[in-house]
Amino acid sequence: MNAMPLWKRVIILAICAWGVVAAAPNLNYTNIERHNDALAAVEAAGGIATAEQQADLDLWPNWLPSNLVNLGLDLRGGAHLLAEVKVEDVYKARMDSLWPEVRDALRDQRDVVGNVRRLPSPEGTLRVAISEAGGVATALQAVRALATPVVSLTGVGQNDIDVSAEGLEIVIQLSQAERAATDDRTIQQSLEIVRRRVDEVGTREPTIQRQGADRILIQVPGIGSAAELKALIGTTAKLTFNPVIGRTSDAGASPGPRNLLLPSMDEAGVYYIVEETPVVTGEELVDAQPAFDQNNRPAVNFRFNPSGARKFGDYTAANIGAPFAIVLDNEVISAPVIQSHIPGGSGIITGSFTVEQSTELAVLLRAGALPAELTFLEERTIGPELGQDSIDAGKTAAIIAMGAVVFFMIACYGMFGTFATIALGINVALIFGALSTIGGTLTLPGIAGIVLTIGMAVDANVLVFERIREELRNAKLPGRAIQLGYEKAMSAIVDANITTFITATVLFAVGSGPVRGFAITLGIGILTSVFTALFVTRVLVEMWIGWRRPKTIIV
């Protein structure tokens, strides 16, 4: 028979050896994981290890492979959140900030357009009334002069605002191109801020990624409850300092034009009337730290950037004795009276916080405000114990499945069954090796995928062995029968596995989370099982034939 050339054998055996080496670290999962975590922490700290970290580092030598399979949330436990960003929020903010500019532009043309007044309008549009009918054209021109071209690939040649006239009213809204560009920016910003907030909490390997047009997928392994995570991510954390006009206990009080009626955070039934336009906002903060006030109550220290500090300083200097409100997400944290001019740009927020709350607020202020509100569409929390139970159950099932299949194969095919068994072992090693190397995620359906692969992996072997049997029945010599067996079984094996691979690809494309994990293991399993069945068993069989040189073989 035509044996495989030596170089082919060497490559095949080398791949097998690589699989075993790459999969091996997973046998010592806990220790290596601690080693890897410590290594990352030490690198982040600039190479200085604490005694504890050093102990973890010593659990596994650095020069050995240490790539591990990622465990999915359903196995490790953790929280999975799918949030939708309300991109429309930003349109409103944009229109509100455009109003002063429009007002100033029209005031410059006062003799032509007459009085200028902002009218109530749906969110995302700005409606301005002028009093002189002859001034509409001039007003349109003045407002259009405020527009700037959109900088984006699809919006070339378009301006950021659409301006039109309805009688004496000028209607301004964001153009289609600007909306698309704004949406994109909003999502990017939200992603960044969510990432910063999650990083501040210091959980390991969170996944934060954009999904579709306006969604963010957040997966944080290893935390027991999604509530805490949601509190952290879902808070907009928009901090503003607004002048206070009055205080009331009437929830239905009319705040007057351009003013807001906001509830107090601590005192039930107390409302503040504040000016809508803030003196300074949280965007101008450079730092926030949890602290204690002079009465030793938890508080948050903050510091403004130079422009924020100037605005804050000017305002406090001019309004000594007047109250101003510290507003977080439309609730008044506190409304202290300005005692003196505060020039340095730093201050302290007090309220009835617990230490946890003040720490959380500091984190939120440091990370910055979300540009738009997040709503949660999907939420899954899996406790670590349930995950461990699933791992154990999966392990038991895999071992039993393996044992049964091995018994079955050896009973049916004798020596050839043994080769198939060795190939099966290598197959499982290759799956884990490949998963570890590409950083694939193992999920519970993924374990089922491996168990299924264990069952199906022998299929290709069975095809070959049955074929060899047939060829032997046609009175072929052992070497020739084996060669023909492999050659003739090839097309069936390839066709059958390509179709299965197609379904794995479709699963990967449309699935998410655990289902995608299943698609990955199934896909890798198909590749490795074809490889082991066509090449590994063949090398083993040929080596055996070359060694024993049997006159007849029984398959």
Partner 1 sequence: MAFRLRLAPENTNINFFAYQWAMLVTSCVMMAASVALWAVMGLNFGIDFQGGTTIRTESNQAVDVGAYRQALTGLDLGDVSITEVFDPTFDADQFVAQVRIAAQDGSEAVTPETIQAVEDALKAVDPSITFPSVESVGPKVSGELIWSAILAVLGASGAILIYIWLRFEWQYAVGAVAALVHDIIITIGVFALFQIKFDLAIVAALLTILGYSINDTVVIFDRLRENLIKYKTMPLRDVMNLSANETLSRTLMTTGTTLIALIAMLIFGGDVIRGFVFAITFGIVIGTYSSVYIAKNLVLMIGLDRTDKPKKGTPDEYANIDA
Question: Least distance from C-beta 412 to partner 1, angstroms?
Answer: 5
Phi, psi of 92 (to 5 degrees): -60, -45
Q: What is the rounded CA–CA span in Å between residue 372 and residue 363?
A: 18
Comparison of 108 and 389: residue with beta carbon closer to partner 1: 389
Q: What is the rounded CA–CA span in Å between residue 549 and residue 358?
A: 79
Comparison of 265 and 405: residue with beta carbon closer to partner 1: 405
324, two tokens = 């101003």
Classify 434 as helix, strand or coil: helix
Pairing of strands 271-275, 259-263: antiparallel
Question: Least distance from C-beta 194 to partner 1, angstroms?
Answer: 16
Question: Least distance from C-beta 512 to partner 1, angstroms?
Answer: 8
Comparison of 39 and 412: residue with beta carbon closer to partner 1: 412
Question: Least distance from C-beta 427 to partner 1, angstroms?
Answer: 13
Question: Least distance from C-beta 73 to partner 1, angstroms?
Answer: 10
Q: What is the rounded CA–CA span in Å between residue 324 and residue 243?
A: 5
Long-range contacts, stretch 350-353, CB < 8 angstroms, 24+ apart: 350/293, 350/297, 350/299, 351/265, 351/266, 351/299, 351/326, 352/266, 352/297, 353/297, 353/298, 353/299, 353/300
Comparison of 145 and 475: residue with beta carbon closer to partner 1: 475
Comparison of 335 and 405: residue with beta carbon closer to partner 1: 405
Alpha helices in 478-536 (DSSP H): 478-510, 514-531
Q: Name the residue with tokens 């035509």.
A: 2
Comparison of 336 and 511: residue with beta carbon closer to partner 1: 511
Comparison of 49 and 527: residue with beta carbon closer to partner 1: 527
DSSP state of 26: G
Question: Least distance from C-beta 324 to partner 1, angstroms?
Answer: 32
Question: Least distance from C-beta 372 to partner 1, angstroms?
Answer: 14
Whether 442 and 428 have beta carbons less than 8 Å apart is answered as: no
